[in-house]
Amino acid sequence: MGSRAVCAVDDAERVDLFAVLEKLMAAVFAAQVGEQVDVDASQQAINQGRGLRGERARRGIASGGSS
**20: in domain:** no
pLDDT tens sequence across 17-64: 999 999 999 999 999 999 999 999 998 899 999 998 888 887 766 665
Q: How confident is the model at residue 66 (pLDDT cuts 50, 70, 90)?
A: very low
Q: What is the predicted pLDDT for the residue at 67? A: 46
Q: What is the predicted pLDDT for the residue at 54? A: 82
**CA dist 56 → 22, 53, 62, 66, 67 (Å):** 38, 6, 13, 7, 9
Q: What is the domain extent for residue 55? A: 40-67
59 Cβ neighbours under 8 A, 6+ residues apart: 43, 47, 52, 65, 66
Q: What is the predicted pLDDT for the residue at 6? A: 62
Q: Residue 60: name the closest of 52, 42, 50, 49 by CA.
A: 42
Number of domains in the chain: 1
- State if pTM tops 0.85: no
Q: What is the predicted pLDDT for the residue at 9? A: 82
**26: in domain:** no
